[in-house]
Amino acid sequence: MTLNEVTISRAILEEQHRALVDYLETDVAVIGGGPSGLACAALLGERGVSCALIEKKLSIGGGMWGGGMMFPRIVVQEEARRLLDRFGVTYREFEPGYYVAKSVETVAKLIAAACDAGVEFFNLTTVEDVMVRGDGRVGGLVVNWTPVGMAGLHVDPLTVACTCTVDATGHDAMIARMIERKGGNLQVKGESFMWAERAESRVIEHTKEIFPGLFVTGMAANAVAGECRMGPIFGGMLLSGERAAHLVAEKLGR
């Protein structure tokens, strides 16, 4: 077989162009490809929901890749162990109620689960703004290539319409802060001190619709609520992603 470089380029361009066009309108846009965003997207995809995951970085996985201080291991508590099982992650019990897993395997299997569920990934893509119309709800996103912002270029963005948006942008709670800055009826309190027990136990209740059409999950939920951070224990992130998927599916009637 003779390889043709133009055919290779055409395959990439045509397939990605088709994905971009197909997802200009989607049921759900999950912003942020960390553990909560991945879990949320995968579980929505399993329900047949059209879901785009937008990640500003090149790699998907958020802070989970590095485990704790670049030791590639994570801890999950008893309540979330069933989600490790659901996504096929191997782990071992370290002490009663504490389960340790490889961070790289966990990220890989979350990504694979989302892919298998039909989630479309758009990495190196930044959300610059949200669209809020006369109905007062988030109905779409303003997106651009991440390198455009990094280079300080003035390049007009494009828009994506979605019924629901999930802010899974972690500590920064970027989408919520956009609405706050533009005068939306929303306050982002910012995360509080490290307190794993409190942060993990409260993140589920903070996972909710915080503005019409906008849901928060994972550390973004705690940042909006002014709640504590938890470090490299990730059970709350997975459980929060599961909760967000349930709430969004309920909103969509799925």
- Kindly report, residue by residue over 212-241, the tens digit of the pLDDT: 999 999 999 999 999 999 999 999 999 999
Would you say 5 is a known binding-site residue?
A: no
Residue 90's pLDDT is 98
User: Is 59 marked as binding a ligand?
Assistant: no
**Contact indicator for 130, 140 with CB cutoff of 8 Å:** yes
**Annotated binding-site residue? 208:** no
**What pLDDT is recorded for position 184?**
86
Is 127 assigned a ligand-binding role in the annotation? yes
Does the annotation place 82 within a ligand binding site? no
Burial of 183 (0-12, 13-18, 19+ CB in 10 A): exposed
Give every residue of the chain whose pLDDT is below 70, as ranges: none
Cβ-proximal residues to 107 (8 Å cutoff; 6+ apart), any chain: 35, 38, 60, 61, 64, 65
pTM: 0.97
Asked whether the beta carbons of 217 and 169 are under 8 A apart, the reply is no
Q: What is the pLDDT of residues 30-64, one digit of tens each?
A: 999 999 999 999 999 999 999 999 999 999 999 99
Q: Is 171 annotated as a binding residue?
A: yes
22 is in an annotated binding site: no
Domains, in order of start, for the chain = 29-157+169-252 (3.50.50.60)
Which pLDDT value is given to residue 31? Answer: 98
pLDDT of residue 183: 87
137 marked among binding-site residues: no
Q: How far apart are CA 221 and CA 246, in angstroms?
A: 15
Please indicate if the annotation marks 229 as binding a ligand.
yes
